Structure formats: C-alpha cells, structure tokens
C-alpha cells in the first residue's frame, strides 16, 4: 500500500498523495533529453524528485513547467529511494490539485510562536536601545517594514525558511543577546547589539519574494544581497535625519559602526559566507556568533526530526549529522 503523507515517506516506499512544489529546475541528460529536478514538501519535510521525460505524459517542457511551478499544489505518485543518504523520489504520475481539495496551510511550515507575541517582544527590545540615533533608525525601519517583516521567511533553503521565520530568527537572536549582555554587563554594548540584530536580516524582505510557500530570490536580491540592501536602508535614514537636524560626528560614527556589524554578521571574509566587511568590534564578532548559533540549531533540529536515534545522515549544507540516542527513556 502506498504512503499517502509525505512526512512518512522513506526509501523503498511508494508515495501517492499531495505535496507542495518548493523548487523546480529544468535539466538535460547526457543525450540531451529534458527532465526536471523538483523539490516537494509538506511542513518541514522536503524531498528531492526526478521527473524524467518519459513521465511527461505527452506534454512539452513548457506545459510541464506551468504545472510544476513554485508554490503549486500537486497530487503525485512515485517510488522513493535513497541517494547520498537522503530520500529521493522518481515521479511516475501527477496532477494539479483541484481548488478546495486540500488546505494549503497544512503544507506550509510556520514559526512556533504567534506573530502578535513576537511583535510585542521585538518592540520591547527596540525600546531598550538607549543610543538615540540607533533607536530612531531601528524603530522607524521596523515600523515602515513591519507588514512584510513579521511574515517573511528568513531563507529560501537554509535556516528558518518558513512563514514568519525572519521574525522568529530575529527574536531568537535578541533573546540570546540579552543573556550575553546580562552576563557581561558593560563589556558589551546592549544598544548596538539590539539595533544590529533587529536590522541584520531586514534586507531579506527585498532579497526574497514574499511568497511564504515557495520563496525565491528576487532580481534585486541577486543584484545586491540582503546585507547591502539593509545598509542602504540605514544610510538613507541617516541622510534623512541629517536633512532634519545637525548630526554629530559621534552619531555618524556609531551608525557606521552599526553598518559594520551588519556587514560582517556572516563572519570574517575568509570564510566565504557572504560578509561584505571584516568584523572589527566585539559586538560585530558576537552578532556573527549568535547568528551562526541560531541558524545551526534550526538547521540541525529540522534535519533530525525524521531521523532515527543513533542514525547518521548526510544533510545538505551541514555534512554528516548524528541523532543521539535519548538516555532519559
């Protein structure tokens, strides 16, 4: 009997059920025959699929791509196997879901906390920013972009790639930063940390589409990336503030220090993770480490949900991951 829920599919099983199309790439075999690499999902579970041209059902590539589009809800059948330690499926049949046949919300992963509670808590952190110009820039950018920020994904594939993932990731970093600031007192500047972490990924609302089901990189996002985008937002705020009043050299300096923290939050340039500047302050180094901690916890937690205890799997973007056996059972 075929498995009907994507969450339950394992190598050796036949699957027949609904799934959400997350990503589609058109490829060609060595002979030049077209086929599709398709990633389908339900909630956190994503499965890589192949649709070979002998399974196109007489349709040409353009027609197939109109069916297998990002965010489409499809009913598919296929055989699951294992490839590089991961489940892979060969699609043998497919059709588009009829309107009302399936509830989209059952397939879209969302943050584990409500948008309303997260927004209240993020605002409370912003209120604790005591450097006036950083408070003004952070609060105004949050208010202006709140509509999109609170529902946006934090990534297309990697970490927090779910509805309201951006807000949840940001809030998680702020909570970690609070503990660090409480522990180390005046050694760490709380205002700079809170401002930088609130804003560090805000550029993603432009870098990626606002489709929480199957987000993609926008053209502007591919031109610049979220780090340059948010620093442009900050710089424009600074220009506006200077048009309204006299801004001291110290204020300008602290704004550019904020921009350095954001520019370097992916770590040193040598690691190749996408920073646009070296971290040169304690807060810059801390923001990178906090960001990396939260991203890794989310990625590994999601990757091990469906793994068996004691199992080792190769996870995309992480390498080999072991799911420890619980000793409290």
Q: Is the pLDDT of residue 204 over 70?
A: yes
Better-scored residue on pLDDT, 155 or 265? 265
Q: Are 273 and 317 in contact (CB under 8 A)?
A: no
Q: Is the pLDDT of residue 319 over 60?
A: yes
As a whole number of angstroms, the distance between CA 273 and CA 32 comes to 34
Q: Is the pLDDT of residue 329 over 70?
A: no
- Answer CATH for 6-106 from 3.30.365.10, 2.40.50.140, 2.40.30.10, 1.20.140.10: 2.40.50.140
Tell me the pLDDT tens digit for each residue of 26-61: 999 998 989 999 999 898 888 999 999 888 888 888
CATH 2.40.50.140 maps onto the chain at 6-106
Tell me the pLDDT tens digit for each residue of 81-111: 988 777 899 999 999 998 888 888 888 889 9
Beta strands in the chain (DSSP E): 14-28, 34-42, 45-52, 73-83, 86-96, 312-315, 319-322
Backbone angles phi, psi at 129, to 5 degrees: -75, 110
pLDDT of residue 230: 97
Angle at CA 234, nearest 5°, toward 231 and 236? 110
Closest CA to 230 of 253, 198, 252, 254: 198
Q: Is the pLDDT of residue 150 over 90?
A: yes
| 53: exposed, middle or buried (Cβ count in 10 Å: 0-12, 13-18, 19+) | middle
């Amino acid at each position: 009997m075929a498995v009907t829920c994507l969450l339950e599919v394992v190598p050796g099983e036949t699957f027949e059920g609904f799934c959400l199309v997350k990503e589609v790439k058109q490829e060609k075999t060595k002979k030049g025959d077209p086929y599709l690499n398709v990633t389908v999902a339900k909630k956190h579970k994503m499965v890589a699929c192949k649709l070979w041209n002998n399974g196109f059902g007489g349709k040409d590539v353009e027609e197939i791509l109109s069916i297998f589009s990002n965010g489409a809800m499809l009913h598919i059948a296929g055989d699951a196997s294992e490839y590089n330690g991961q489940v892979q499926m060969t699609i043998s049949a497919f059709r588009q879901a009829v309107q009302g046949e399936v509830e989209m919300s059952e397939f879209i992963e969302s943050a584990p906390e409500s948008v309303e509670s997260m927004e209240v808590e993020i605002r409370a952190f912003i209120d604790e920013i005591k450097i006036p110009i950083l408070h003004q820039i952070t609060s105004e950018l949050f208010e202006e972009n709140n509509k999109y920020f609170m529902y946006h994904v934090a990534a297309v594939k990697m970490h927090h790639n779910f509805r309201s993932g951006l807000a949840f990731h940001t809030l998680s970093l702020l909570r970690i930063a609070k503990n660090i600031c409480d522990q180390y007192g005046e050694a760490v500047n709380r205002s700079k940390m809170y401002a930088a972490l609130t804003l560090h990924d805000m550029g993603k609302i432009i870098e990626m589409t606002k489709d929480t089901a199957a987000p993609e990189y926008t053209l502007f996002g591919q031109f610049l990336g979220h780090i340059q985008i948010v620093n442009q937002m900050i710089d424009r705020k600074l220009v506006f503030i200077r048009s309204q009043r006299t801004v001291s050299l110290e204020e300008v300096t602290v704004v550019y220090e904020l921009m350095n923290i954001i520019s370097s939050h992916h770590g040193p340039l040598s690691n190749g993770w996408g920073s646009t500047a070296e971290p040169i302050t304690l807060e810059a180094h801390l923001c990178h480490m906090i960001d990396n901690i939260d991203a890794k916890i989310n990625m590994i937690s999601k990757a091990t949900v469906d793994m068996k205890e004691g199992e080792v799997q190769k996870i995309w973007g992480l390498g080999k991951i072991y799911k420890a056996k619980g000793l409290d059972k």
